[in-house]
Amino acid sequence: MSGGTVPEFSNEVGARMISIGVHEFTCIGANPPFDHPHIWLDMGADSEIVCPYCSTLYRFDAGLKPDESRPAEARYHARPLA
């Protein structure tokens, strides 16, 4: 993603499909400590992609902002280190 941070998404809820507002992102699988290797995915000109680790289907939705997802809890926000 040019000029910004790459959003991270997880599938902690076990959704069959997650709609997102970007074509380039990182999938982490479940939330830590049960995450898989954090993998950068790029849909390119396509509108969907499947994560090769967790098999989550991600679908681009132009109605969502780059930091939004449906379901909303799929947007992963790392907790700051204490």
pTM score: 0.90
For the record, the structure tokens of 50 come out as 């499947």
Strand order across the beta sheet in which 17-20 lies: 48-50, 57-60, 17-20, 69-70
Residue 41: which of 30, 54, 72 has the closest Cα? 54
**Rounded to whole angstroms, what are the CA distances from 46 to 22, 23, 62?**
11, 8, 13
Percent of the chain at pLDDT exceeding 90: 85
Residue 82 above 80 pLDDT? Answer: no
Q: Average pLDDT in the 49-60 region?
A: 98
Residue 58 has a pLDDT of 98
For the record, the structure tokens of 12 come out as 């902690």
